[in-house]
Structure 1
Amino acid sequence: LEAGMALENYDQPVVLRDENKRRRRKMRPHSAATSNVFSMELIPIEFILPTSHKNSKVPDTILLEIAGNCTVEQMKAQVWMNAIEKSHNSDFYHRLSPDQFLLQYQKKGQWYEIYDKHQVIQTLDCIMYWKVLQKTVGKIYIIQKQKSSEETVEYQKKLNYLIGYDVTDVSNVHDDELEFTRRRLVTPRMIELVKRDARLYSMDPWVTSMPLSEHLSKKLTSNNIFIIIHKGMTSHTIRVSIDDTPDEVLQSFFTKMAKKKSLLDISEEHSEQDFVLRVCGRDEYIIGNSPLKDFFYIRQCIKSADEIHFVLDLPPDPSEDIVQKEEWPLVDDCTGVTGYHEQLTIEGKDHEKIFTISLWDCNRKFRVKIIGIDIPVLPRNTELIVFVEANIQHGQQVLSQRRTSCKPFTEEVLWNTWLEFDIKIKDLPKGALLNLQIICCKAQTVSNKGTPHAADATGSDSKCKNQLLYYVNLLLIDHRFLLRQGEFVLHMWKIPGKGEEQGSINADKLTSATNPDKDTSMAISLSLDKYCHPVALPKHKSVSDPELDRARSEMPNQLRKQLEEIISTDPLHPLTPEDQELMWHFRYEVMKHPEAYPKLLNSVKWGDQEMVAKTYQLLNKREAWDDCSLDVGLTIQLLDCNFSDENVRAMAVQKLECLQNDEVLHYLLQLVQAVKFEPYHDSALSRFLLKRALRSKRIGHFLFWFLRSEIAQSMHYQQRFAVILEAYLRGCGTAMLNDFIKQVQTTEVLHKVTMEIKSVSAEKYDVTSQGKC
């Protein structure tokens, strides 16, 4: 079961959308669903139908044996056909289609939806769950989809207003990753809300895990401090130990004031358990099991020699942090599973029993057909020629590169040519991007005709200077682990010119989003090979590595010294190919040195499937990494633009789990920026940020504004940041939502005033438009 639950592969063909009616070349839907069902394993399932007998409220049921290798969509169709034939309410099933219904099952008292209609039955979590329970027949409930209530619609509008982006708008996506991620993030959010301590969350104490510095310790007298507690119009000063907890302080205070409760306007039946200490003038509470010396406010007062003032207050009502009920059922982490190579391979199987092709069976080289480009408005210089440069890259590592021939730069340039790369399809790693760039140069600088495979597009003239104009990326393996197929029209991003806002151009060039401004942007049309079945990247199996198990000979001293020098070099110093080869050859030795992990993983050829498999085996033996103390700088190195592999990035995020809230705040901005380097919306880093924000209002506040500012300023990552922010807002609670609305309204007023001032006297006031935040 654990192996099954760990599967993270996705299994759904690409869903393409017609992006722009003005384009002659349009993306057409491609369905890889097979029409026939062939069984390798028959699974008995009882389906609870949405109809019932006329004289009874007992729902209709159908018991079917479902082929284990058919898809959820095929299973629904099979149920529908049987319902039409056998049900007393056949008119109902004639009138409605299977797409208007959900499939749900129960697990440990929770309702889960079988969400991915292209997933193979034998990989469903419910099938494995039933096997563990030794159920011979499982139950799946067919539930009719309900129209969203007015309350739900209004709530979504409120969230979209706070986000600054409509997450329900799918007009600028070429697959369903946005909606898929919205559904998958429900489960980690629900888990965090169940574990959340309502009292601690409502008051969110601000403490640090750092020991008290010697400088501050010297300012204390006998390890004691004086605090002033206010209640109404009275105040009292007491001396407490810096090691006392807030509860001990309250107990000591009430003991001393036992006979003076009337002065504090406290009734006799109330005790210290009914009150908390709040910092005067702040919405900050001193609660919890931490000693006073660990609270930031206390340390700040000691450092500046200020008096410490508290208000004896009633705790806030935790019900103010109530979360609106989830409108969606949960989806499990097995959603979209594809399985192992042994399950998917075509070798030794009847072709009629093949439902998905393993990527590792595809020995042909990867290729792409560049059809052409078109742009509504040409650049002013008409004496330009252009060519398309296509790169397959993983992080910053270029796995293969090809170019088209040169053509005069007109409103529409057609090539209709295939570019074949020197990398096999089976070697394409997850996270690999097809990077397409439009590059121009002056026509007279090119002396001979170009060919698709040659680099002649740069010209033979040494004075020739190529200029990158536009770029766009397409993930070759989608969020469900499926190879992209079919035709695409991608709207490209323009490289900022001189004097234009550059933004985070290096991060922006890695985005897999397309330009939402379809009316004025450059569009490139391309075609990928189509297959009769989905082509899935299999999950790597944990197998024994002979090189790892075999005792290695002693490393020569000269090589050991050379290896130590490589490990000790500056992280920004690029390694030579010889250095990388040495690092990989002695990788088992390098694994003993966590500080060398970024260099070692940069030495991996991610376009070599066998080498990637060995790397995963290597990462399973990372005891030195797990046991070493946390070096945040080293961990963040593995989250930068050089690493696109989800296992490497998940390993880094796992190390961050031990960070305390104050430490998360220190690195929150860098971690938000690192989300840009994730290949997919749903990632270990996204989930980490979501979880920590749902535990702490302070982290949540800063995360809200970091994400919202990125959504307002960066069109390249709007969708990714918006889906993370929505997941947070759905769990932060009503009190935080109301606070955020006030903050956003305030910034809008300030922005309006700023723009009015600027319009009154543009020369007198040098005020630039910052856009809405």
Structure 2
Amino acid sequence: MPPGVYCPVDFWAKEENQTILVDFLLPTGIYLNFPVSRNASLGNIKKLLWQRAQQEPLFHILGAPSSYVFTCINQTAEQQELEDEQRRLCDIQPFLPVLRLVAREGDRAEKLLNSQISLLINRGLHDFDSLNDAEVNDFRTKMRQFCEHVASCRQQLTWESWMESNFPLQLEPSTTLFTKPLFSKSIMINVKFENSEETFTLQVSPRDLPISVIQLALRKKSNVSGQRCPVGPGEYTLQINGMLEYIYGNYPLCQFKVSGRHKPPPLPTKKPHLCSLWSLEKPFCFHLSFGYNVNADEGLKLLVYCGLYHGNELLCKTVASAEVNASSEPQWQQKLEFEINVCDLPRMTRLSLALYAVDKSKKGKSTKKKSKKDYPIAWVNTMLFDYKDMLKCGQYSLCMWSSFPDEKAELLNPMGTVQCNPNTESAATLVINFMNMSDYPVYYPSLDKILELGRLGEVSNPTQDERQQLQEIVERKGQAELYEHEKELVWKLRHEIRERHPEALPKLLLTTKWNKHEDVAQMVYLLQTWPELPVLTALELLDFNYPDRYVGSFTMTCLRKLTNEELCQYLLQLVQVLKYESYLDCELTTFLLERALIHRKIGHFLFWHLRSEMHVPAVALRFGLILEAYCRGSNYHMKVLIKQGEALSKLKGLNDFVRSSVQKTNKAQAKEAMHMCMRQETYLEPLSHLYSPLDPNLILTDVCVELCTFMESKMKPLWIVYNNELFGGNRVGIIFKNGDDLRQDMLTLQMIRLMDVLWKKEGLDLRVTPYGCLSTGDKTGLIEVVMRSDTIANIQRNKSNMAATAAFNKDALLNWLKSKNPGEALEQAIEEFTLSCAGYCVATYVLGIGDRHSDNIMIRESGQLFHIDFGHFLGNFKTKFGFNRERVPFILTYDFVHVIQQGKTSNSEKFERFREYCEKAYMILRCHGALFLNLFALMKAAGLPELTCSKDIQYLKDSLALGKSDEEALKHFRVKFNEALRESWKTKVNWFAHTVSKDNRQ
């Protein structure tokens, strides 16, 4: 190993066979100290400890080794039970080399599973237990039962169906797993009562389950025993082992268990008195009590702004509290009343609060609006109804969040989470009291009551003029705001919209007066008979603007038609939409879990999309609970994911080691040290023979250590190469990044992949390369290496005599393609280049991709051009000294044109064909403009720095010319195309500056 370089980074990552002196504490109070191999498993260490303990006092009072488990203090200073005895000591890495042996309590298998899940999702399940939260507990119980049920169904799949769900073909069939007619056959059910030997068989239709089974079983028991069954059907529970969709036809006999306990008839009791929300025609109010942990300068005043929201719609005027002197524990003791009656509060109302400091020395007269003299301190949101539909009452302590959204013009942050800040010790906190609005608990009316009121709505007969106005509103492209008279017309003609324009449902929902319960009831009533929308249209209804649960239920009905491939395509957005959900238990969560547990690829990416944000406090609880449920329903896949997690952990440690090495020595020596480290068994074993996180259908077999390296950029990304016999003998490469947020790259590549799908549907294959990219944690992730390719910068540099003039060498690209594609193959390579160049010209223009230089545009040896590194999009171009460095709509340089024209300046026919490709590709995307707007809108919850609000999506509307006719839009694109070609010399100058700057850095 080169001098000055040390292999990783703490005493757990030393030489493979090195022993470590470990202290052992036995349950008998005996202390032992002896060396063990750092590579030894806990099981082997326990055997060795048992041999040593036999020579010690009090050994005879110890039980069997299996009755005990090791505990340690882990790296986060918490005590951890080490149930998985196959794990090695070097992988556990306790804070100190001290292992304590304690008696095992409870179900060993359950504790082992809990330990593995905690390790995998990076959060201890005991955290969920310690919350003592009724909603959390109910959700965990429900999801556990649901996932275990789906898992039991999966076990009854035929071999072919199991293979399809775990290892689907790349071209999947259009049919789903649920293709058999549901009610085609009756099934035979074997029924057995608890504490009884008698069994009997029932024949029922699947449509009758489960209630009729209980009734038939009890009737049968009464007939068999000759006695009337003392317990009614409602007091029995039915456990269904097996999924009906898979049972009938293939599995005619299924075990059912009807259990109940005999008890005397209950005494008549009074039903609890409840109060309907709609009966309370008085203003809503709450009591603002006090705050604590507030950090504000002396001399300032503190006040709280309050607003009631339904989605982004403000239900009534905001209310401001009185101003009080700044202190760590400000006191208000004030009743705050809103201009809305309790009866008109919609079910999904959320109360948004924001704490502000006011500089009284500069404060103007108005306190109703924020001015530059108001300084935001913290915000918090909470729902007015609990998860059981009851209006909240009593005292609540709301721990606030200190980071405000970028839309500075807004007082409040209704789109933020309704979860309180888990940092209860230091977060600013408001204590409020929801006052009793009635002598009895207040509930939100049931669906039956809502529909009963909704039936009373009037149906208007539109005039011809009104129909024409409605047609114009419906056909309006984009998400333009409607005028008040247009909103009134849309609401008036809501039945006409249902019959003739059902796709305009989002516009109708935005015109609904959600602060009038009569209008809400009419909208819900209308929704019951609304025609199902196409999947891509229904995606818009997932937006934060549509929080109503009946709208959500309708949306999920539409989305259930998503094929597995389509669901994978939009999974990134669906996971982000979970952040908009107000309660843990929602139909979207159940839908995603159900599909994930049946289809392995969906489960894989659902897991990593959730796992990658477990470090975010606002979503850690929700995402952690969903991950727990998925793991419980997919034990086999969990083992695969654990292996992937171990590999990523090793890559992170290796990356830290490489960064440290580079600071102490040169690149060659650091690379040699990296190889020595990778050859250790503790690295080689976790990194080999695992399913690729980038593609769950691909197994990464043997690491080709000699070809592994690290890249020159600041964070020293790792370049890992695999010899892969299962992949046609070709090598596979992945890049591990630590320190860069890959979520924006993921979104951009998803959009390019979607564009490719849309183009191919129209018969246009533009040979784009949407390579794999996956965020796996806090600024960590993986990128697929596109093998047999190089950057334009390297090609120009290698084909030029002087590095400084490389950017101006127009023959470099063509000569490189000739060298890789001799003879007749060259024409096909140029065609590949032409098609792919057209695809990326259009894609980068529409998405507003910035920071385009010769190091992030690459070419494959087959001729396909593609872009990488998407750190800037939606028109966020780089500037230097106040000037825009990128002054062209997209990259179309003369050396690109030189290749397209096959090196002949007179070959204008080839260039015109390229122009036609671009125009056709652009017009196809424009037809699907609403889909791109919706998908970007759903990503606002992701917190990407360049996509935080609706204004950021304006670039897409402009680039796709959504406010113009097709002829005007095509003319608009032609102007941009000519501008890109005319101004391409500026791109060359920019590339020259980039090359010189890079050479100077090196």
TM-score scaled by structure 1?
0.56
Quote the offset at 1:476 in angstroms: 0.8
Quote the offset at 1:205 in angstroms: 1.8
CA distance in 2, matches of 1:204, 1:159: 24
Matched with 2:714 is 766
Matched with 1:386 is 302
Structure 2 counterparts to residues 79-90 of structure 1, below 5 A = none
**Compared CA separation, residues 722 and 546, structure 1 to 2 (3 A):** closer
- Stretch of structure 1 that moved more, 356-365 or 397-406: 356-365
- Stretch of structure 1 that moved more, 519-528 or 423-432: 423-432
Structure 2 counterparts to residues 677-696 of structure 1, below 5 A = 677-696=580-599
**Compared CA separation, residues 755 and 471, structure 1 to 2 (3 A):** farther
CA contact (8 A) 1:396 1:641 kept: yes
* Alpha-carbon displacement from aligned partner over 1:92-122 (angstroms, at most 9, x marks no partner): xxxxxxxxxxxxxxxxxxxxxxxxxxxxxxx
**Compared CA separation, residues 428 and 170, structure 1 to 2 (3 A):** farther
Quote the offset at 1:546 in angstroms: 5.4
Matched with 1:663 is 566
Amino acid of the residue matched to residue 388 of structure 2?
Answer: R
**Compared CA separation, residues 429 and 545, structure 1 to 2 (3 A):** closer
CA distance in 2, matches of 1:445, 1:387: 15
CA distance in 1, matches of 2:129, 2:293: 20
Amino acid of the residue matched to residue 165 of structure 1?
Answer: R
Q: 2:621 aligns with which of 719, 726, 744?
A: 719
Quote the offset at 1:187 in angstroms: 4.2
Quote the offset at 1:728 in angstroms: 1.2
**Compared CA separation, residues 468 and 201, structure 1 to 2 (3 A):** farther
Matched with 1:153 is 111
**Compared CA separation, residues 567 and 187, structure 1 to 2 (3 A):** farther
CA contact (8 A) 2:535 2:562 kept: no
Matched with 2:289 is 371
From the CA coordinates, give the structure whose radius of gyration is larger.
Answer: 2
* Alpha-carbon displacement from aligned partner over 1:451-480 (angstroms, at most 9, x marks no partner): xxxx62548xxx745343311111111111
Quote the offset at 1:745 in angstroms: 1.2
Matched with 1:705 is 608
Amino acid of the residue matched to residue 581 of structure 2?
Answer: E
Structure 2 counterparts to residues 348-747 of structure 1, below 5 A = 354-375=272-293, 378-379=295-296, 382-400=298-316, 401-447=318-364, 456-458=367-369, 464-495=372-403, 509-530=415-436, 533-541=440-448, 542-543=451-452, 552-553=460-461, 555-592=462-499, 593-622=501-530, 625-626=531-532, 628=533, 630-632=534-536, 634-712=537-615, 714-734=616-636, 736-747=637-648
Matched with 2:981 is none
1:752 is the counterpart of 2:653: yes
* Alpha-carbon displacement from aligned partner over 1:3-47 (angstroms, at most 9, x marks no partner): xxxxxxxxxxxxxxxxxxxxxxxxxxxxxxxxxxxxxxxxxxxxx
Amino acid of the residue matched to residue 325 of structure 2?
Answer: P
CA distance in 2, matches of 1:415, 1:544: 40
Structure 2 counterparts to residues 5-20 of structure 1, below 5 A = none
Quote the offset at 1:382 in angstroms: 4.5
State the number of aligned residues: 466
CA distance in 1, matches of 2:135, 2:400: 19
Amino acid of the residue matched to residue 543 of structure 1?
Answer: E
**Compared CA separation, residues 206 and 468, structure 1 to 2 (3 A):** farther
* Alpha-carbon displacement from aligned partner over 1:532-584 (angstroms, at most 9, x marks no partner): 54322121213385566x7743x222222221222122342122232222111
Higher helix share: 2
* Alpha-carbon displacement from aligned partner over 1:268-313 (angstroms, at most 9, x marks no partner): xxxxxxxxxxxxxxxxxxxxxxxxxxxxxxxxxxxxxxxxxxxxxx
**Compared CA separation, residues 429 and 680, structure 1 to 2 (3 A):** same
Quote the offset at 1:445 in angstroms: 2.6
CA contact (8 A) 2:285 2:336 kept: yes
Quote the offset at 1:488 in angstroms: 1.1
**Compared CA separation, residues 352 and 421, structure 1 to 2 (3 A):** farther
* Alpha-carbon displacement from aligned partner over 1:298-356 (angstroms, at most 9, x marks no partner): xxxxxxxxxxxxxxxxxxxxxxxxxxxxxxx999xxxxxxxxxxxxxxxxxxx986432
CA distance in 2, matches of 1:607, 1:489: 27
Amino acid of the residue matched to residue 703 of structure 1?
Answer: L
* Alpha-carbon displacement from aligned partner over 1:382-429 (angstroms, at most 9, x marks no partner): 453331011111111111321112233322221110101112222222
Quote the offset at 1:163 in angstroms: 1.6
Task: Give the structure, 1 or 2, with the largest relative contact order (CA under 8 Å, sep 6 or more).
Answer: 1
Structure 2 counterparts to residues 91-240 of structure 1, below 5 A = 148-170=106-128, 175-196=133-154, 197=157, 199=159, 200-202=161-163, 203-208=166-171
CA distance in 1, matches of 2:313, 2:280: 22
Percent of residue pairs identical: 27
CA contact (8 A) 2:350 2:384 kept: yes
CA contact (8 A) 1:507 1:677 kept: no
CA contact (8 A) 1:507 1:676 kept: no
CA distance in 2, matches of 1:578, 1:172: 53
**Compared CA separation, residues 506 and 416, structure 1 to 2 (3 A):** closer
CA distance in 2, matches of 1:428, 1:546: 20
Q: State the Cα RMSD in Å.
A: 3.2
Quote the offset at 1:659 in angstroms: 1.4
Amino acid of the residue matched to residue 511 of structure 2?
Answer: S
Structure 2 counterparts to residues 267-282 of structure 1, below 5 A = none
* Alpha-carbon displacement from aligned partner over 1:453-511 (angstroms, at most 9, x marks no partner): xx62548xxx745343311111111111111111111110012599xxx9xx9999431
CA distance in 2, matches of 1:477, 1:486: 12
CA contact (8 A) 1:172 1:514 kept: no
CA contact (8 A) 1:694 1:728 kept: yes
CA contact (8 A) 2:395 2:434 kept: yes
* Alpha-carbon displacement from aligned partner over 1:567-626 (angstroms, at most 9, x marks no partner): 12234212223222211111001113122111101111222211111111100121xx32
**Compared CA separation, residues 474 and 506, structure 1 to 2 (3 A):** closer
Quote the offset at 1:361 in angstroms: 2.4
Amino acid of the residue matched to residue 663 of structure 1?
Answer: E
CA distance in 1, matches of 2:327, 2:276: 41
Quote the offset at 1:186 in angstroms: 3.3
CA contact (8 A) 2:150 2:594 kept: yes
**Compared CA separation, residues 389 and 666, structure 1 to 2 (3 A):** same
For 1:411, what is the secondary structure of its paired residue? coil
Quote the offset at 1:702 in angstroms: 0.6
For 2:355, what is the secondary structure of its paired residue? strand
Quote the offset at 1:171 in angstroms: 7.9
Amino acid of the residue matched to residue 563 of structure 1?
Answer: L
CA contact (8 A) 1:488 1:527 kept: yes
CA distance in 1, matches of 2:336, 2:657: 53
CA contact (8 A) 1:438 1:471 kept: yes
CA contact (8 A) 2:144 2:629 kept: yes
CA contact (8 A) 1:389 1:404 kept: yes
- Runs of 4+ in structure 1 over 6 Å off: 505-508, 761-765
CA contact (8 A) 1:508 1:716 kept: no
TM-score scaled by structure 2?
0.43
Quote the offset at 1:435 in angstroms: 0.9
Quote the offset at 1:640 in angstroms: 0.9
* Alpha-carbon displacement from aligned partner over 1:726-763 (angstroms, at most 9, x marks no partner): 111111232x1111111111112222333344456679
For 2:633, what is the secondary structure of its paired residue? coil
* Alpha-carbon displacement from aligned partner over 1:624-670 (angstroms, at most 9, x marks no partner): x32x5x241x2111001111111101111111111111111101111
**Compared CA separation, residues 513 and 443, structure 1 to 2 (3 A):** same
